[in-house]
Structure 1
């Protein structure tokens, strides 16, 4: 039995030892097996001169924008507009029922005629010395009182007519025929859309860099890739004590009414200063939680192949397809601009630039 157990131990031990040695040799063979070269595109890091730009988040605001309301209380008797309609200043939008006021106006007009006749009669008698100066003053005062009451009544009737305070585009109607409206109740929104304002904040350290009439560029999520251009037209004289930011206002032309009040906007202020920057394409950067890196392409020590060497860099401003490299790269060094997922440190590469990714600070897509 002892001999049989010893024989089994030697047999199975030999089998396991053979399997283990084969696995170790196979792993060593795979580790030493050279990987095929990865095909990448390249870009030579270059220095460009960029006009300094200050970026901010802004909010669009109408030059004039109000909720049209009524000053009087009453029943809506007529509506003279449609939702979304463009109107001119003074256009009649709606009317409230004014039958009692109109009747009272007719009463005052009759009193005016009577007061004028009385005044003319007393005036003629006074010229012949029949009446006193006091009688003439009394009729004149009565006439002036009727005239004043008449103006008040006309103003009351005018308040029952709702008009546009300025030219613009109407919103959605908020009243209906026969509705009883109260003073201050919203009738419709009215917005003047051309031109349009954009309000945005900048940190106080940029206060000396900005000035009136500087050009601004605006982008919105509603129109991706579309840029709108305007100029700074106002700078708030004070700096907010809580945020240490100051408010600016830009004005943009908006003839097609694409920009609407309340929209979110990315604002870029182009100041006069220029600076030199070292740039690489955005596609050349590998972003990771522990840092941003590029792959430098250079000849191997033997000089018979090109290898990729990973290097961490510090990036700065981004413009279009390009990214500023602040630290970790020198001008003239060649980096991989595509195929980064196929690369490993010290791995061989083949450069093929036939379909190189675009690298433009101000890209203009064909469908923009």
Structure 2
């Protein structure tokens, strides 16, 4: 109990001493500067009359001055001129080369090979006998059929003479006529059987590597050799379905063959598949390329560039200059005023083809106009003055391979003179 009283007294004493010290510290002290002085009286009076917010007001005036100068300064932007270039509306894909006509020769009947009338890789003509099978038995049947036909002809002639003299009935003449027809049919059958033992070239082409030799016995359907017509080559490729409205027979395409670097080949679209693949949503296209120089081979991998149109005087600007707003496209166009200062104007444009870093302008701009490339966010209203810190030279970019893309300057490979085999029409029978 005694300790609690002592603690209370000590705490009260400490509080009293601290309060007194604080009061003493806050009381003004007299000094030499506090004595009345006539020379200091006006200054002290002015200090007492001055507002305590005067320093803050001065700072506000200084900040306002900086703000006004910033507003009047022209914001810096980068600009580019509208360029005139050559645009090619095209699409790239990959495809495979195949012969215009190709076939693997196979026998229709079994037999033993007696003659091979070609060498590997030889050019052959339509109707040329390439393979001859053993035809001794069919030839004997042909001779037998010819003999039976001779007898039937003689009987028919004799019966016609006898019926004219009323020595035989008309029935005998009819029977001899039927026998004559049977003999003719047997002869035709024998010749057809013998013809199947000869394998002819179905069209002009080049033979491949044969799989057989003289003396081999082949069953019907066995592979003998392939023949390829490669004077004209087909390239089969596929394009997305969105291009089906642009594809037309006769359009030009360009091929680049990985196996033949540095060469390009012109091709022409021959057919468009009416069926769109439901799995990949793509459409099949076949183009024909002149290959009389025999540089291309079936099975080669090809990169196909299909051209839909060419625009020699197209207007393009950098892609970053576009300012989309509410489904519409705008650019900030720069013009000089009377004092030579650049002034900005927002202009709505209509775009066309696009390529990496470039976009075509169909309406809204003209050749020689200047547009803001970067810094559009600094321009809040039309008619604002700007400072152009970097203006592109605007040298025209001419492309011969794609839309404003500098591809290798390689001319299409030259082809022999004469009629282009891709324009030659032939029936499926090869006649």
- TM-score norm. by structure 2 comes to 0.56
Distance 1:113 1:364 in 2: 72
Partner of 1:146: 183
Cα shift readout 1:118-164 (whole Å, capped 9, x = no counterpart): 11111111110000111001111001101001001100000000001
Counterpart of 1:160 (choices 197, 209, 216) is 197
CA 1:122–1:68 in 2, change beyond 3 Å: closer, same or farther? same
SS in 1 for 2:357: strand
Distance 2:81 2:227 in 1: 53
Counterpart of 2:140 (choices 99, 103, 108) is 103
Partner of 2:274: 237
Partner of 1:117: 154
Count residues with an aligned counterpart. Answer: 260
SS in 1 for 2:287: strand
Partner of 2:357: 325
Partner of 1:186: 223
1:326 CA drift (Å): 5.0
1:105 CA drift (Å): 1.2
Distance 2:209 2:373 in 1: 57
1:62 CA drift (Å): 1.3
1:88 maps onto 2:125 in alignment:
yes
Aligned 8 A contact 2:114 2:134 in 1: yes
Q: Rg bigger for which structure?
A: 2
1:263 maps onto 2:295 in alignment:
no
1:57 maps onto 2:94 in alignment:
yes
CA 1:247–1:192 in 2, change beyond 3 Å: closer, same or farther? same
Higher strand share: 1
Aligned 8 A contact 1:215 1:269 in 2: yes
Matches within 5 A, 1:1-368: 47=83, 48-272=85-309, 274=311, 276=315, 324-325=356-357, 332-333=391-392, 360-364=406-410
1:277 CA drift (Å): 5.1
1:114 CA drift (Å): 1.2
Structure 1 unaligned regions, length at least 5: 1-43, 280-315, 318-323, 335-358
Aligned 8 A contact 1:50 1:276 in 2: no
Distance 2:310 2:225 in 1: 46
Kindly report the root-mean-square deviation, in angstroms, between the aligned alpha carbons of the 2 structures: 2.8
Structure 2 unaligned regions, length at least 5: 1-79, 319-353, 360-371, 375-389, 394-404, 415-431
Aligned 8 A contact 2:252 2:307 in 1: yes
- TM-score norm. by structure 1 comes to 0.65
1:329 CA drift (Å): 6.7
SS in 2 for 1:186: coil
1:364 CA drift (Å): 3.4
